[in-house]
Chain A
Amino acid sequence: DQQVKQNSPSLSVQEGRISILNCDYTNSMFDYFLWYKKYPAEGPTFLISISSIKDKNEDGRFTVFLNKSAKHLSLHIVPSQPGDSAVYFCAASDSTSYGKLTFGQGTILTVHP
């Protein structure tokens, strides 16, 4: 039972263009969402989060959008840079699970120079 799904295993983008990574969830109790970036053989690093009371959160080149009715969130990276090439995971939690996070399968982003 995959409660958080990233249906695109990979995404290839040209440097300077926008990268859009998508994530869907099925558990309507989820109310806090996060994006992580991961390089091979390293631990994930936190990028940006959004609470369900908002529909957008921005931090520099990174913007997360949340569509609660569609149970969908997306991460926009503008402009994309070669150093953004990594695996991106979305994660979610609900108020009953303290800080426990449920992760998606990840999307491999490749930014070409």
Chain B
Amino acid sequence: DGGITQSPKYLFRKEGQNVTLSCEQNLNHDAMYWYRQDPGQGLRLIYYSQIVNDFQKGDIAEGYSVSREKKESFPLTVTSAQKNPTAFYLCASNQGRTEAFFGQGTRLTVV
């Protein structure tokens, strides 16, 4: 079964802590994306990667970091510099100009 797997489904972060969200795909897609969803604001692009070892900032990259060491994996780190990290995070992938496939999301809450 091809798809995108995000883990964990729920994540709690203490103030000042860095946390890493996992995203793995077995669709053999070149491009991967991280979006953030807040109520009433739709999906906003954090980072994206079109090939291995390369990535670009999206619209709201401040306080986040990513890596793309393998085609299948695109982890997102939410750093302590992100002042309002509580949100629903979605990872997606696609190949060229086709529809993007999404994972099931990770709900991050600051405690």
Q: Footprint of B on A, CB under 8 Å? A: 6, 9, 32, 34, 36, 41-46, 49, 89, 91, 93, 95, 98-106
Binary A-proximity of B69-105 (CB < 8 A = 1, otherwise 0): 0000000000000000000101010111111111111
Binary A-proximity of B41-55 (CB < 8 A = 1, otherwise 0): 111110010100000
Interface size on B, residues (CB 8 A): 29
Is B64 located at the chain interface by the 8 A CB criterion?
Answer: no
Given A34-B99, A98-B97, A99-B96, CB of A105 within 8 Å of CB of B40: yes
- Establish whether residues A41 and B99, one from each chain, have CB atoms under 8 Å apart when the complex forms: no
Given A98-B96, A99-B94, CB of A105 within 8 Å of CB of B105: no
Given A9-B40, A46-B101, CB of A41 within 8 Å of CB of B31: no
* Interchain residue pairs with CB less than 8 A apart (18): A36-B102, A41-B88, A41-B105, A42-B104, A43-B102, A43-B103, A45-B102, A89-B43, A93-B97, A95-B97, A98-B50, A98-B96, A99-B98, A99-B100, A100-B33, A103-B42, A104-B42, A106-B42
**4 closest A-B pairs by CB:** A43-B102, A105-B42, A103-B43, A46-B99
B98: chain A residues at CB < 8 Å are 99
